[in-house]
Amino acid sequence: MAGPTRDQKLETLLSAAAKVFAERGYHETSMRDLARASGVSLAGVYYYVQSKEELLYLIQSRNFEAVIASMRVALHGVTDPIERIGRFIDNHLDYFAAHMAEMKVLSHEAGALSGDYLQKVNDMKREYTRALMDVLADVERVHGPAHLNRRVAAYSLFGMMNWIYNWYDPLGDVGVEMLSQNVCHLFLGGYVGLPVSDAAMPRSSAG
């Protein structure tokens, strides 16, 4: 019958904050809004968090770390470059759809941080981008050079995937599986220039 841990209450606070940040935006949201949404007093928020900016940083860094860690697992042991891309996309969209509020805050509120907070999140961003670029380099090593600038291709893919917070409803008629398959097909079809065999689609080879 133990009450919630300090860490658990912080998680609850972060979760509530992510929801409000996603709806109203970081700067429009006041600490009083967050207090109301998480059921504590205004001053009570500051018992768990040093500042409003640290709150945003915790949301961004924790989820970014989770995405990267999950991506490493998803790609581990997979050698076919095409399937590695499929896994990368699949992992990204799965996590995005499962944590819409947090990922919208991560994608949309990228420039709201400053100082050390900003630098640390930017480091993760560089690491994640590098991971994708490496996979793209693998593809070209195996299937020959693409007729596309690799950097443009990488950021276009991130654009496709990160833009979904503007329109996608995980509970709508387009399931996450279909979304992921479509993005895989769209990107791979355009990047390697040929219809992608179903065997390379992660959804049908891992389940």
Partner DNA sequence: GTTGGAGTTGAACGATCGTTCGAAAGCGCT
Partner DNA sequence: AGCGCTTTCGAACGATCGTTCAACTCCAAC
Encoded one letter per residue, x for contact with DNA by CB under 7 A and - for no contact, window 27-66 reads --xxxxx------xxxxx-xxx-xxxx-------------
Q: Using an 8 Å Cβ cutoff, are 82 and 192 in contact?
A: yes
Q: Which residue, 128, 153, 148, is CA-closest to 61?
A: 128
- Nearer to a second copy by Cβ, of 43 and 194: the residue is 194
Nearest approach in angstroms of CB 8 to DNA is 10
Our finding on whether 159 is near a second copy (CB under 8 A) is: yes
- Nearer to DNA by Cβ, of 31 and 68: the residue is 31
Q: Using an 8 Å Cβ cutoff, are 171 and 80 in contact?
A: no
Q: Which residue, 75, 61, 82, is CA-closest to 146?
A: 82
Tokens for 106, please give them.
């991560």
CA neighbours within 13 Å on the CB side: how many for 93?
29
DSSP-assigned letter for residue 148: S
- Nearer to DNA by Cβ, of 8 and 197: the residue is 8
Our finding on whether 110 is near a second copy (CB under 8 A) is: yes
Residue 21 contact, options a second copy, DNA, none, Cβ 5-8 Å cut-off depending on partner type: none
- Nearer to a second copy by Cβ, of 68 and 148: the residue is 148
The burial of 131, by beta-carbon neighbours within 10 Å (0-12 exposed, 13-18 middle, 19 or more buried), is given as middle
Please tell me the count of residues contacting DNA according to CB under 7 A: 20
State the Cα–Cα distance between residues 102 and 91, nearest whole angstrom. Answer: 15
Q: Using an 8 Å Cβ cutoff, are 139 and 82 in contact?
A: yes
Our finding on whether 9 is near DNA (CB under 7 A) is: yes
Interacting residues with DNA (CB under 7 A): 3, 6, 9, 29-33, 40-44, 46-48, 50-53
Interacting residues with a second copy (CB under 8 A): 25, 27-28, 108, 110-112, 147-149, 151-153, 155-156, 158-164, 166-168, 174, 178-179, 182-183, 185-191, 193, 195
